């Protein structure tokens, strides 16, 4: 049964079959946990994530017991447990109910290993074990299954990550194939089974089976068309952004000898020196820019602890000046397509909402604030290199100064 159909997750364990045999005892012991990975990935809502966490903890402990009973060494069990915790944490963190840092704050990897960098160390461990594949064949095969079931780790956020991950998987598969013990010779080299009469069993296909097949085909078509539409919309948005309209010629205005007021820049001098924010004061507005890489974790929308005091100071500064506040969220041009964020626009909107929510709580006047997702629009740098893409991942807080507010 799907995981999301149960508030009390131990009920799910009863629906998972016990695997009592297999060529790889480590994979056999981990089978129940691996079965849960695709169920968690497609779960859009979950009534009780803490209960799921406790259930997974019990499953990992059961895995350790079964692995020991199969005669597997302690070091191999610890390595396998590290990999399983990392895979489960990544899968849960990419769901709507486990994202925004909710799952990562109490992850399985922290519980069992007191670590948070599993996405990186998984592949470091893989590289080390691959130096002696005959000795570590079982654990390497388990790690291959983890990647085959969708684990990406650090390759999820690096440039050209997916092609690199596919290369790693193919190399590992080659290693496993070359080191796998050959199968025994057939009991009867000249055995030939009797040919059975072919029956047209499809003529007796139950109606409910046909309905299920039709529903599955319809769902597959819907998902394909939805994915294709999202790609087309992303490409169209990028093409619109590349359009360059002719400049609008306006009559020259008398030069204003007054310099732009230091409305917010002076207030944020410490944060500017630390590189936490950039401030631009103009005659009719002030713009505070926060770099997205420090403000949010990759593909997350929870504001990092380091920036919470900074946003509190921004809220205090906005209290002193009248005017509307516009929070714009931006991403780079690298597309994101997950269950929670089907496109870059969805991610940028969620990040803008998160910042606006903190500011509104500080201001006490939420009607002043409007949040907007801009996706990859209005880049301030190119998207051809990692440093330039990092500049484009940002949140801009714009204070539109009321006309009656005197210059400060």
CATH of the domain at 388: 3.30.1330.60
Among 144, 179, 214, the domain-final residue is 179
Counted domains in the chain: 2
Residue 209 lies in a domain: no
Position 361 pLDDT exceeds 70: yes
Average pLDDT over residues 200-212: 63
Structural domain range at position 373: 269-401
Percent helix, strand, coil in the chain (nearest 5)?
A: 55, 10, 40
Question: Is 155 contained in some domain?
Answer: yes
Q: pLDDT at residue 197 above 60?
A: no
Question: What pLDDT, in 10s, does the model give residues 208-248?
Answer: 777 777 888 877 776 666 666 666 666 665 555 555 545 54
Percent of the chain with pLDDT over 90: 34
71-80, 164-173, 178-187, 208-217: which has the minimum mean pLDDT?
Answer: 178-187
In a domain, 226, yes or no: no
Is the model more confident about 2 or about 382?
382
Same domain, 157 and 290: no
Instruction: Say yes or no to pLDDT of 338 above 80.
Output: no
3-state secondary structure of 336: coil
Mean pLDDT of the chain: 80
Q: Are 26 and 175 in the same domain?
A: yes
pTM of the model: 0.49
Alpha-carbon distance of 370 to 384, in angstroms, equals 31
Mean per-residue pLDDT, 61-86: 94
In a domain, 332, yes or no: yes
Domain for residue 105, yes or no? yes
Asked whether residue 118 is assigned to any structural domain, the reply reads yes
How many C-beta neighbours within 10 Å does residue 92 have? 26
Task: Give the bridge partners for 330, in sequence order.
Answer: 394
- Residue 92 located in a structural domain: yes
Domain contains 28: yes
CATH number of the structural domain spanning residue 111: 1.25.40.590
Contact indicator for 56, 88 with CB cutoff of 8 Å: yes
State the Cα–Cα distance between residues 216 and 90, nearest whole angstrom.
Answer: 27
The residue out of 142, 158, 179 marking a domain boundary is: 179
Tally of CB atoms within 10 A around 383: 15
Q: What is the pLDDT of residues 257-301, one digit of tens each?
A: 455 566 788 888 888 888 888 999 888 888 999 987 788 888 888
Domain boundary among 145, 179, 213: 179
Please tell me the predicted confidence (pLDDT) of residue 212: 76
Q: Write down the pLDDT at residue 198.
A: 53
């Amino acid at each position: 049964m799907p995981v999301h159909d149960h508030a009390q997750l131990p009920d799910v364990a009863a629906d998972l079959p016990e695997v009592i045999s297999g060529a790889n005892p480590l994979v056999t012991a981990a089978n129940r946990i691996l079965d849960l990975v695709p169920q968690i990935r497609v779960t859009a809502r979950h009534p009780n994530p803490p209960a799921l966490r406790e259930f997974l903890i019990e499953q990992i402990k059961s895995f350790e017991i079964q692995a020991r009973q199969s005669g597997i060494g302690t070091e191999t069990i610890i390595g396998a447990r590290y990999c399983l915790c990392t895979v489960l944490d990544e899968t849960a963190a990419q769901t709507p109910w486990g994202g925004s840092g909710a799952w990562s704050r109490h992850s399985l990897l922290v519980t069992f290993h007191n670590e948070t960098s599993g996405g990186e160390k998984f592949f470091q461990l893989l590289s080390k074990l691959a130096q002696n594949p005959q000795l570590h064949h079982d654990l390497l095969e388990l790690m291959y299954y983890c990647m085959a079931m969708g684990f990406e780790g650090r390759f999820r956020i690096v440039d050209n990550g997916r092609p690199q991950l596919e290369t790693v998987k193919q190399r590992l598969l080659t290693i496993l194939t070359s080191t796998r013990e050959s199968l025994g010779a057939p009991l009867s080299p000249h055995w030939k089974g009797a040919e059975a009469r072919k029956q047209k069993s499809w003529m007796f296909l139950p109606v409910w089976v046909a309905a299920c097949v039709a529903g599955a085909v319809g769902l597959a078509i819907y998902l394909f068309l939805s994915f294709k539409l999202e790609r087309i919309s992303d490409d169209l948005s990028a093409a619109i952004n590349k359009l360059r309209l002719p400049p609008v010629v306006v009559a020259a205005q008398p030069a204003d000898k007054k310099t732009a007021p230091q409305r917010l820049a002076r207030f944020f001098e410490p944060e500017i020196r630390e590189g936490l924010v950039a401030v631009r004061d103009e005659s009719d507005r002030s713009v505070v820019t926060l770099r997205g890489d420090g403000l949010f974790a990759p593909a997350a929308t929870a504001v990092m602890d380091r920036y919470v005091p900074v946003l509190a100071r921004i809220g205090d500064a906005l209290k002193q000046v009248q005017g509307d506040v516009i929070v714009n969220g931006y991403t780079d041009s690298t597309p994101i397509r997950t269950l929670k964020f089907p496109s870059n626009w969805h991610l940028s909107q969620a990040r803008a909402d998160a910042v606006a929510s903190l500011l509104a709580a500080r201001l006490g006047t939420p009607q002043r604030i409007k949040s907007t997702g801009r996706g990859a629009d209005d880049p301030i740098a190119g998207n051809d290199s990692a440093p330039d893409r990092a500049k484009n991942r940002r949140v801009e807080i714009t204070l539109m100064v009321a006309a009656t507010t005197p210059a400060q």
